[in-house]
Amino acid sequence: HFVSGLEFDLATNLVGQPLVRQQVMKGLRGFLENPNPVKPLVMSFHGSTGTGKTYVSSMLIRYLFQGGLQSPYVHHFSPIVHFPHAEHIEQYKESLRRWIRGNLTSCGRSAFLFDEMDKMHPGLIDVIIPFLGPSWVVYGTNYRKAIFIFISNAGGEQINNVTLALWRARKDREEISLQDLEPAISKAVFENPESGFWNSGIINEHLIDFVVPFLPLKHHHVKQCVVSELIQQGLEVRPDVVQEVADSIPYFPEEEKLFSSTGCKTVASRISFFF
C-alpha cells in the first residue's frame, strides 16, 4: 500500500523529474515485492543543487520507516560531519564497517544514506562493499534487505549539459532517457580522482542497481515549487508573487536563461521577501 502512496506522492509533489520517479519506483517495487532479495537495494542519486535529491530520499524513508529519518533503522552519513579529516581515514573505515555491521545485526531491513558522496574521501566507501553484494550472510547476518542510497552533486554539471544539448536539439525533457545521461554521469563521478567513488570496487563490481539522474529545473518548475511552498506555509497563492519569486532566481545559460541555478533550493527563504 505504501508503494502506491509513494508513487502518488512522487507524481504529485516531485517537480519536473519523470526519470527519477521511474527509476525509484522500479527499484523499490522490485525489491520490496521480493521476499528474498539476492542483494541489498543500492541507488545513487545525482544532480545539481535544489533538484530534489534530499527531498526524494527523505520521502522514500518516510514511507518505508515509521518515524522517517528519525527511525532507529535509518542511518544518515555526511562526510563533512562524520568523516572530516583525511588523515583519520583508517579509523573512519573501521568505525563505518562496525557501525553498519552492528546496525544490520539488530535489523536487516535498515537504510543507510550517504550524503555528499562527492566530498567523501576516495577509498573510504569501499569498506562497505561486503554489505552491498550478493553474498548470503556477512558476519552471521542476513543483510540483503537493506537499502543504501548515495547522494551526490557530482555529475550534476554533466546532466545539465546533456539536458541543454538535447533541448537545443529539440528533444523534450520527457523524452530524455537514462541512456542519454549515463555515460556523462559515469565519467564525472566514477572516473574522477576527486570523487568518493573514484576507482571504487562498488563501481567495478557493478553493485549500484539504479543510477538516478535529477535534471535541471526550468522556470515553470520553479513556479510549481513556489506554489507548493506558499500552500505549505499557509499563505495566499497570488500569481504575481509566484511570478516574482520565480523571476528572482538566477537562471543559466547566460543567453537562454533556461534552467534555475539553484533548482528550488532557495524558494522557501525567498518567499518572505514578498510578504
Domain span holding position 266: 219-274
Residues 227 and 208 in one domain: no
Residues 46 and 156 in one domain: yes
Give the domain-ending residue among 213, 230, 257.
Answer: 213
Number of folded domains that form the chain = 2
Residues 250 and 198 in one domain: no
pTM of the model: 0.92
pLDDT of 104 reads 77
Q: Look at 191 and 269; give whichever has higher pLDDT.
A: 269
Q: How confident is the model at residue 264 (pLDDT cuts 50, 70, 90)?
A: very high
Give the domain-ending residue among 174, 192, 213.
Answer: 213
pLDDT of 224 reads 97
Residues 128 and 257 in one domain: no
How far apart are the C-alpha atoms of 206 and 203, rounded to whole Å?
5
Give the domain-ending residue among 185, 213, 241.
Answer: 213
Packing angle of the helix pair 2-13, 18-33 (nearest 10 deg): 170
Residues 252 and 130 in one domain: no
Residues 209 and 240 in one domain: no
Residues 147 and 93 in one domain: yes
pLDDT average, residue stretch 17-27: 95
Return all residues near 161 (Cβ < 8 A) that are at least 6 apart. 184
How far apart are the C-alpha atoms of 30 and 1, rounded to whole Å?
14
How far apart are the C-alpha atoms of 15 and 252, rounded to whole Å?
18
How far apart are the C-alpha atoms of 29 and 52, rounded to whole Å?
20
Residues 246 and 199 in one domain: no
Residues 196 and 232 in one domain: no
pLDDT average, residue stretch 193-202: 83
What are the b/e assignments for 201-210, b being 16+ CB within 10 Å?
Answer: ebbeeebbbb
Q: What is the CATH number for 69?
A: 3.40.50.12190
Summarised one tens digit per residue, pLDDT across range 76-114 is: 999 899 899 988 999 999 999 888 888 877 777 899 999
Q: How confident is the model at residue 63 (pLDDT cuts 50, 70, 90)?
A: very high
Our CA dihedral for 161, 176, 258, 235, rounded to 10 degrees, sits at: -130
What are the b/e assignments for 110-148, b being 16+ CB within 10 Å?
Answer: bbbbbbbbbbbbbbbbbbbeebbbeeeeeeebebbbbbb
- Output the CA–CA distances (angstroms, integers) from residue 106 to 66, 160, 258, in the order listed: 16, 41, 48
Summarised one tens digit per residue, pLDDT across range 160-181 is: 999 999 999 999 888 999 999 9
Residues 200 and 239 in one domain: no
How far apart are the C-alpha atoms of 273 and 184, rounded to whole Å?
38
Residues 130 and 226 in one domain: no
Residues 267 and 182 in one domain: no
